[in-house]
């Protein structure tokens, strides 16, 4: 594909100086149309015409890359293509115009969607109860860890350690520390949990083991039943990082694997894009023995009416304003209804097939550690690139010139020069083949050409160090 991104010298919206705005005849806002008491004084935002604003953001969008532009194999992020019908329904007035302070009787439809979604997620996760409140995977983790603490405390125990494999996602240790726990990291063996290392790490101080299964190398933890037993025998809980359910939906559940707690990233598997900069959803599910600790309120049904229930004996309280990001919940509900249980199973089968097809084609040209089959993703070891004076970063940048978003790179840390690839179920064989062809082509390109890529993007290579060290997060910082 011949790929070129638009390139504009686009100023910040604060810097736009417009001449006399074009007068759109049928759209005049006269000064006296806004009541005096509603006029804001001293609000420091740009005053621009509609056309300037629309053009500004359209130009920015043309300089961007998204799933609507092309393939986005960002490992661990599940950048699948989401059908527009979900956005459309989430934009309906009935969805956008409800207010969380409305009486239960006035929002029966919204409560019904939430209640049904809770039940659907229970079935998908193999758990007994779900809260829809958390707004992200990481917030789901944090909520799960607060519940873990509440559970042990009610049993009269003070357990202060969270065990994590070295392949775990970065949010796991971050959530554990935020919840006041000490992190005990255990090494992997052949890419999976090392049972011996786990046995020596588990003790009466262990509160919970957090596990992603399949893990971030795309490998299924085949010893998961032994792992669950070991933890439970020590009185500890098991937390399933279900940020990505694309590899197990309809085939098995965290509940069947004997996990006590699981979070779901709706903004990955269920109808909302991950990393889209918009709101997310990280519902949390638990088995029966932990239900009483879930945040309040829950959405309940008494056989004729839906209502918000604040009566939960040992609730950890509220962890987010109101009841979660409602439009994300609606999209998840529509997604699950559209797919049906057979469809969800097919998503899994196809995601796994796509990952293994890509792996099979790429392993003829790249080192891919751990030879066995993968689930939804796999990690390439790019260390051989160094022999040619190249790095994984260079290959990732050059891929942009061919119109592909780069895979996740340098993560997980246990693979050198890692390139983590997750194709998802929504990509065709042709797209996967084009991606492999581009990867192989880059291997045979001139080193200097690759090192200076990208060329066809709106922004060329930025300094990684500057970008990480000198963050500019506000207009004030920018002006300084």
Ligand X SMILES: Cc1ncc(COP(=O)(O)O)c(C=O)c1O
Q: 344: exposed, middle or buried (C-beta count within 10 Å: 0-12, 13-18, 19+)? A: buried
Judge whether 450 and 398 are in contact, CB under 8 Å. yes
Q: How far is the CB of 396 from ligand X (least distance, A)?
A: 18
Place of tokens 């829809």: 132
The residue (of 282 and 407) whose beta carbon lies closer to ligand X is 282
Report whether 265 contacts 281 (CB < 8 A). yes
Strands 378-381 and 418-421: antiparallel
For the bound state, the minimum distance from the C-beta of residue 179 to ligand X, rounded and expressed in Å, comes to 14
Partners of residue 409 on adjacent β-strands: 419
Residues 6+ apart with CB under 8 A from 408: 74, 75, 76, 77, 418, 419, 420, 421, 422
Please give the residue ranges that form the binding site for ligand X (CB under 6 A): 76-77, 136-138, 169, 171, 212, 241, 243-244, 265, 280, 282
Smallest separation, CB 263 to ligand X (Å): 8
Longest Cα separation, the chain: 76
Query: Least distance in Å: CB of 437 to ligand X?
Result: 28
* Residue burial 102-121, b: 16+ Cβ < 10 Å; e: rest: eeeeebeebbebbbbbbebb
Choice between 127 and 436, CB closer to ligand X: 127
The residue among 125 and 403 lying less far from ligand X, judged by its C-beta, is: 125
In the bound state with ligand X, the residue whose beta carbon lies nearer, of 266 and 294, is 266
Residue (of 156, 152, 218) closest to 354 by Cα position: 218
Cβ nearer to ligand X, comparing 271 with 282: 282
Radius of gyration for the chain, computed over Cα atoms and rounded to the nearest angstrom: 25
Cα–Cα nearest to 112, from 339, 337, 321, 343:
337
Helix boundaries (H) for 368-417: 392-401
Query: What is the rounded CA–CA span in Å between residue 370 and residue 418?
Result: 13
For residue 408, the minimal CB distance to ligand X (Å) is 9
Closest contact distance (angstroms) between CB of 284 and ligand X is: 12
Least CB distance to ligand X at residue 212 (A): 5
Measured from the CB atom, is 134 or 255 closer to ligand X?
134
Q: Write down the H helix ranges in 50-131.
A: 50-62, 84-90, 93-96, 108-125
Closest distance of CB 216 from ligand X, Å: 6
**CA–CA gap between residue 241 and residue 263 (Å, rounded):** 6
Of the two residues 72 and 402, which places its CB atom closer to ligand X in the complex? 72
Cα 48 from chain centre: 35
Taking CB atoms, the residue at the shortest distance from ligand X is 137
The distance of closest approach from Cβ of residue 288 to ligand X in the complex, given in angstroms and rounded to an integer, is 25
Tell me whether residue 243 or residue 368 sits nearer to ligand X (CB atom): 243
Output 76 or 228, the one with its CB closest to ligand X.
76
Q: How wide is the angle at C-alpha 351 spanned by C-alphas 346 and 356, nearest 5°?
A: 125
**Alpha-carbon span 43 to 251, nearest angstrom:** 54
CB 281 within 8 Å of CB 334: no
Least distance between ligand X and beta carbon 213 (Å): 10
Considering the complex, state which of residue 264 and residue 293 has its C-beta at the smaller distance from ligand X. 264
């Amino acid at each position: 594909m011949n790929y070129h991104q638009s390139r504009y010298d686009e100023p910040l919206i604060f810097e736009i100086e417009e001449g006399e705005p074009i007068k759109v005849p049928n759209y005049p806002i006269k000064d006296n149309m806004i009541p005096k008491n509603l006029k804001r004084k001293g609000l420091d935002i740009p005053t621009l015409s509609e056309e300037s604003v629309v053009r500004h953001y359209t130009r920015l969008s043309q300089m961007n890359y998204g799933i609507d532009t092309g393939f986005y194999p960002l490992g661990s992020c599940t950048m699948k293509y989401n059908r527009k019908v979900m956005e459309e329904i989430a934009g309906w007035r009935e969805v956008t115009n409800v207010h969380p302070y409305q009486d239960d009787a006035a929002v029966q439809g919204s409560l019904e969607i939430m209640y049904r979604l809770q039940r659907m997620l229970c079935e998908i996760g193999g758990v007994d109860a779900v809260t829809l409140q958390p707004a992200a995977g990481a917030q789901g983790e944090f909520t799960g860890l607060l519940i873990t603490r509440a559970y042990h405390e009610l049993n009269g125990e003070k357990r202060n350690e969270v065990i994590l494999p070295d392949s775990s996602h970065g949010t796991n240790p971050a959530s554990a520390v935020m919840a006041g726990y000490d992190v005990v990291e255990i090494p992997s063996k052949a890419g999976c949990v090392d049972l011996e290392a786990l046995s020596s790490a588990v003790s009466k101080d262990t509160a919970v083991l957090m596990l992603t299964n399949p893990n971030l190398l795309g490998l299924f933890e085949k010893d998961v039943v032994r792992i669950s037993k070991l933890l439970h025998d020590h009185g500890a809980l098991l937390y399933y990082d279900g940020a990505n359910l694309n590899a197990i939906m309809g085939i098995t559940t965290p509940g069947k694997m004997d996990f006590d707690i699981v979070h779901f990233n709706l903004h990955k598997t269920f109808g909302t894009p991950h990393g889209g900069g918009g709101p997310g959803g990280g519902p949390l599910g638990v088995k029966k023995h932990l239900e009483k600790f879930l945040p309040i309120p829950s959405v309940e049904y008494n056989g004729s009416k839906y209502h918000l229930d604040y009566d939960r004996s040992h609730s950890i309280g509220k962890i987010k304003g109101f009841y979660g990001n409602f439009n994300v919940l609606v999209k998840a509900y529509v997604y699950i209804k559209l797919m049906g249980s057979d469809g969800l199973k097919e998503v899994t089968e196809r995601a796994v097939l796509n990952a293994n097809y890509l792996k099979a084609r790429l392993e003829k040209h790249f080192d891919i550690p751990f030879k066995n089959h993968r689930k939804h993703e796999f990690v390439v070891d790019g260390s051989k690139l160094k022999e040619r004076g190249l790095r994984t970063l260079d290959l990732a940048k050059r891929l942009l010139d061919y119109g592909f978003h780069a895979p996740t790179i340098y993560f997980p840390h246990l693979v050198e020069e890692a390139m983590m690839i997750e194709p998802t179920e929504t990509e065709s064989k042709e797209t996967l083949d084009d991606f492999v062809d581009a990867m192989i082509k880059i291997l045979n390109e001139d080193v200097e050409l690759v090192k200076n890529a990208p060329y066809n993007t709106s922004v060329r290579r930025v300094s990684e160090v500057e970008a990480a060290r000198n963050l500019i997060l506000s207009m004030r910082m920018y002006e300084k």
